[in-house]
Amino acid sequence: MGDRLPTLALARAFPALAQTVNGRPLAYLDNAASTQVPLPVLDAMCDFDTRDRANIHRGVHTLSQRATQAYEQARETLARYVGAGPDHELVLTSGATEALNLVAHGLSDRALAEPWLRPGDEIIVSGLEHHANLVPWQVAALRSGATLRVLRPDAAGGLDTEALAPLLGPKTRVFALTACANATGHRPPYEALLALAARAGALTVLDAAQAAAHAMPRMATLACDFMAFSGHKMHGPMGTGVLVGRRGALERLAPLRLGGDMVESVSWDETRFAPLPARLEGGTPNVAGAVGLAAAADFIEGLGRDLIDAHVASLRGAAAAGLAALPGVHVLAPSETRTAIVSFVADGVHPHDIGTLLDGLGIAVRTGHHCAQPLLDHLGVGPTTRASFALYNTPDEVERLIDGVAHALKALR
């Protein structure tokens, strides 16, 4: 394959990319919201649903046993993908949102005899977070009587360990952080930040949704108790995700979903929960989705994560430079070199109008607050236009983006 991704050949593996939009070839640059799905993933899910579809666990018939095997094999594949160690467990969820809610709820639920979070404790959340890694902690603080503290970014939207150190103390019980700010493309030094919080005695939580497709952290190398990500951001199906954690940390969680498959025994008066990971996976799971998510992990591994990471970072760098050269355009995190997201604002032009005109040119981008309103308010920029890249995007599409924004600015000013 050499040292470059064969993007044109790869694009043929993604049926959605073959279409035209408004008479133009589709340039899909909204990958931070959802990536497209390749044929191997679609085939894996179709094969399961046409041959092995049945409910998992406890079934003695052949289809149930095959479905159970497929589900548990998917779990093993994903554990390898995230670099889980022998002291980790992997819980399959509906996405990063459910995974993060599971942690925040599980540490504060008073159904536990000794919840991890109690009155007077402190939760630290970074100011870069998607609402899914902020709102659950706000509610957990209210539920438990803990205090929520925010690690605020600097004026450019960056974080560092010097800002975190003064917030840590004997009352710090949780530190939650993103691996990449979805609204700006900033990659915080999460390895060092997590390590610092862990040394202070906090349970650490990493939202890896924006890293999953090209820069997935290796769990065993991090001072990280819980890590969450979504399948739909790594070329997998929607409605799938993962919570991977240290076994001792996961055992502290009260289950979020109560019902079938997460119990060991039930009487009229008492329920005993099943061991991990089943106790955190109540109800019938999305088995076909898990199979598809594992196929997506294999697809990414087959191409090479380092190669994908370098490719999308190169596209991000070219887009940031080209957009910043346009009059009145301000790129957020302009010097960032390690992510796939470029977000910008333009003087005198609303992002929604830019996005609409780009769509008329067949270019798909995202506009708005990107579920990170506190961060954009902190930076004083309001809604932005965001382009985000994946393994199938090309330098030509970056040029189309830059030319399209230039056209939009000329038309709207």
Which of 301, 332, 355 finishes a domain? 301
Same domain, yes or no: 191 and 278: yes
- 333: exposed, middle or buried (C-beta count within 10 Å: 0-12, 13-18, 19+)? buried
Strands (E), 203-249: 203-207, 226-230, 241-246
Secondary structure of 34-87 as H, E, C letters:
CCCCCHHHHHHHHHHHHHHCCCCCCCCCHHHHHHHHHHHHHHHHHHHHCCCCCC
The answer to the question of residue 36 being in a domain is: no
Low-confidence ranges of the chain (pLDDT < 70): 1-3, 112-113
The answer to the question of residue 105 being in a domain is: yes
Same domain, yes or no: 111 and 186: yes
The answer to the question of residue 1 being in a domain is: no
The answer to the question of residue 180 being in a domain is: yes
Q: What is the pLDDT of residues 218-276, one digit of tens each?
A: 999 999 999 999 999 999 999 999 999 999 999 999 999 999 999 999 999 999 999 99
The answer to the question of residue 169 being in a domain is: yes
Same domain, yes or no: 368 and 352: yes
The whole-number pLDDT of residue 1 equals 38
Nearest 5°: the CA angle 28, 319, 32 is 45
Same domain, yes or no: 180 and 47: yes
Which CATH number characterizes residue 179's domain?
Answer: 3.40.640.10
Which of 301, 319, 338 finishes a domain? 301
Which of 249, 283, 301 finishes a domain? 301
Catalytic residue among 46, 180, 224, 371: 371
The whole-number pLDDT of residue 114 equals 82
The whole-number pLDDT of residue 234 equals 98
Q: Are strands 271-273 and 263-266 parallel, antiparallel or unpaired?
A: antiparallel
The answer to the question of residue 245 being in a domain is: yes
The answer to the question of residue 399 being in a domain is: yes
Same domain, yes or no: 266 and 402: no
Nearest 5°: the CA angle 82, 87, 91 is 55
The answer to the question of residue 37 being in a domain is: no
Same domain, yes or no: 312 and 273: no
Which CATH number characterizes residue 371's domain?
Answer: 3.90.1150.10
Domain containing residue 201: 42-301
Same domain, yes or no: 308 and 224: no
CA distance 163 to 167: 8
Structural domain count, the chain: 2
Strands lying side by side in the sheet with 384-388:
329-331, 341-346, 384-388, 366-368
In whole angstroms, what separates CA 225 from the centre of its chain?
Answer: 16
Same domain, yes or no: 282 and 238: yes
Same domain, yes or no: 283 and 222: yes
Is 46 catalytic? The answer is no
Same domain, yes or no: 322 and 263: no
Same domain, yes or no: 121 and 265: yes
Same domain, yes or no: 289 and 310: no
